[in-house]
Amino acid sequence: MSEQKAYSPKVHPGLTFVILLGLCYWAQWLYPLSFPEKVQDHRFWFAGACLSIGTIIGGLAFMAMKKCGTPVEPGSEADKLVTCGLFRFSRNPLYIALLFWSLAFAGFSGSFWFIFGTLYLFFVLNFMVIPQEEKYLLKRFGAEYEEYRKKVRRWV
């Protein structure tokens, strides 16, 4: 195990999520891209389902991290590699929850801008946030993390 205790994230996922929500609302106000009428009647069911799924996934992942004594905040010192709970199926269940919450905003707002925002969030997480975290975890936990990475997929 390496002596590297923490790292400074280049992109904060939570802040990115909040900024994207604001930008999507602003874009919808400037240039509305609303869902078609056929979809409008069902969008709240979709939004509620996404919100529920995201909250359950996020809650279970949060509890697994707390149970292991590992902080949830990106860039914080990880004392233990979390491999229990939902982390047995995905290395990033908290980010999956964030994507579901983003889709919930799409449903509640009825705006395609939030679909675009969710896609952008996915690319930021997949190509900027997660690679930096994985690099840190590899330095921090070495072979233990490499073995975990071989067994568990990045997303699902």
Contact 22, 117 (CB under 8 A): no
Could you tell me if residue 54 is inside a domain? yes
- Domain assignment present for residue 9? The answer is no
Amino acid (1-letter code) at residue 121: L
Indicate whether 34 belongs to any domain. no
Q: Is residue 11 part of a domain?
A: no
Residues contacting residue 68 through CB under 8 Å, at least 6 positions apart = 80, 82, 84
Place of tokens 């069911």: 45
Contact call for residues 129 and 74 (beta carbons, < 8 A)? yes
Q: Is 31 among the domain residues?
A: no
Within 10 angstroms of residue 21's Cβ, the number of other Cβ atoms is: 17
Confirm whether 8 is domain-assigned.
no
**Domain of residue 88, residue span:** 42-151
Domain count, the chain: 1
| Residues counted in the chain | 156
Would you give per-residue pLDDT tens digits along the chain (156 residues)? 555 567 888 899 999 999 999 999 999 999 999 999 988 889 999 999 999 999 999 999 999 999 998 989 888 888 899 999 999 999 999 999 999 999 999 999 999 999 999 999 999 999 999 999 999 999 999 999 999 999 999 999
